[in-house]
Amino acid sequence: MSEVNEKIPGKVIVLGLLFLTIVALMVWMEIKPEAPPEPMPVIHSEALEPATAKMAEPATQPQEISETQKHFGQLIEDFKSSAPTQADLQKLTAQQVHYTPEVIFKSALRLGDIAQAIADHKDLAAAGLKFYRECAENSASPNSLRASCYVRHEKLIESSGLIEPSLSKDSQVSDHVKSLAQKL
């Protein structure tokens, strides 16, 4: 037996004991292997038309409108109903427009709520792109809000992976709005 021990290098024995110690610790601490990664979303090839491409949904989700989608729709309606028009801003007093008007701040907060909903629920990205496009193209809206929508639209295209044309060549978005967007 001593002949066998002399042939096994000491380092191999130490490494073997170290391995057994680590395994014993893992069992003792009940460390479980990592869960397999979630499957990547799939873009359906038949849905590659602009503004209509969408991520594949797992088969377990019902096809009816979810509470999240209803809430998102309400956020958009709240923004549309409360956002000022350029005509509304022209009615403000000189003192009210000396700084950013409160109605612009409130609308910007609502845009932030919409952006947060999209960030929290990736399945809202297609509807978010549609909303941001409409917002950026709305010539009755203040240019500052339009520019914010423009920027969010372009960033959402990058982050979502959805197929959607950029607003950079959209003739319905004025050069002034595009210039403001570059400064944001």
> Tens digits of per-residue pLDDT, 64-83?
678 999 999 999 999 999 99
**pTM assigned to the model:** 0.63
Compute φ and ψ for 111, nearest 5 degrees: -65, -40
* Overall number of domains in the chain: 1
Residue 48 lies in a domain: no
For residue 97, what pLDDT band results from cuts at 50, 70 and 90? confident
Place of tokens 């066998």: 4
Residue 28 lies in a domain: no
Residue 106 lies in a domain: yes
Residue 86 lies in a domain: yes
Contacts for 183 with CB less than 8 Å, ≥ 6 apart:
147
Residue 18 lies in a domain: no
Residue 109 lies in a domain: yes
Domain with 132, as residue range(s), is: 65-183
Report the pLDDT averaged over residues 120-136: 94
Residue 30 lies in a domain: no
Residue 85 lies in a domain: yes
